[in-house]
């Protein structure tokens, strides 16, 4: 009985507490990802997609299939292991980092940020995207799965496609904190 309680506590700590730092783990439907990549993003081998809260790696896998590079940030160690195992055959196109996106230094040359989140988490994702665009000195695209963002006049909604909202996030050289 004690083993069951301990195992249950471990599962709660891994999955439950990570939801307080970021969005909870919610798998993305493969058909949604494929349609987004094929019809909206039109990725090339020159694109680098950052998946904030990459979960089981489903988005990373579909990005890798296009020939683009994929970087996943995931705070849940169990999901990092699952996605690394799942994506081992895409090793040349995919990197998965066990990290907190809010405390990690900006990545280099990101062209697309993909994220699922709501409320405060969505605001943090938007701020991360603005910091990334400013750090790079060029615009990037931000995909929000399921939720619309409040953006500044500097940024714009490019398209609403099913459950996705696709934005262009421009560098902020004014010091505006959004």
Do residues 125 and 52 touch, judged by C-beta distance below 8 A? yes
Do residues 143 and 115 touch, judged by C-beta distance below 8 A? yes
What's the pLDDT tens digit per position in 18-37?
444 455 556 677 788 888 88
Provide the pLDDT confidence category of residue 81 given band limits of 50, 70 and 90.
Answer: very high
pLDDT at 22: 52
pTM assigned to the model: 0.82
Which CATH number, 1.10.3720.10, 3.40.50.150, 3.50.30.10, 2.30.40.10, labels domain 2-169?
3.40.50.150
When the pLDDT of each residue in the chain is averaged and rounded to a whole number, the result is 84
Query: In the predicted model, is pLDDT for residue 156 greater than 80?
Result: yes
The Cα 166–Cα 169 span in angstroms is 10
The Cα 141–Cα 49 span in angstroms is 9
The Cα 87–Cα 61 span in angstroms is 6
pLDDT at 122: 84
What's the pLDDT tens digit per position in 100-116?
988 888 788 999 999 98
pLDDT at 24: 59
Q: Would you give the end-to-end CA distance of the chain in angstroms?
A: 51
Locate the domains of the chain by residue range: 2-169
pLDDT at 169: 95
Return the higher-pLDDT residue of 157 and 120: 157
Q: Beta strand pairing status for 156-161 and 164-169?
A: antiparallel
The DSSP-derived string for 24-93 is: PP-PPPHHHHHHIIIIII---TT-EEEEET-TTSHHHHHHHHTT-EEEEEE--HHHHHHHHHHTGGGTTT
């Amino acid at each position: 009985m004690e083993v069951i309680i301990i195992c249950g506590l471990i599962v709660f700590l891994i999955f439950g507490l990570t939801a307080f730092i970021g969005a909870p783990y919610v798998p993305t439907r493969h058909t949604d990802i494929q349609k987004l990549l094929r019809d909206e993003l039109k990725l090339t081998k020159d694109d680098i997609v950052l998946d904030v809260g990459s979960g089981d790696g489903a988005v990373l896998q579909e990005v890798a299939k296009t020939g683009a590079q994929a970087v996943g940030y995931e705070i849940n160690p169990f999901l990092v292991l699952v996605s690394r195992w799942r994506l081992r055959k895409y090793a040349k196109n995919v990197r998965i980092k066990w990290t907190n996106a809010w405390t990690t230094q900006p990545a280099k040359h990101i062209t697309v940020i993909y994220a699922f989140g709501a409320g405060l988490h969505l605001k943090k994702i938007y701020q991360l995207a603005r910091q990334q665009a400013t750090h790079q000195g060029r615009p990037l695209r931000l995909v929000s799965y399921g939720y619309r963002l409040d953006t500044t006049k500097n940024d714009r909604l490019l398209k609403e496609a099913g459950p996705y909202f696709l934005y262009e996030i421009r560098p902020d050289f004014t010091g505006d904190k959004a």
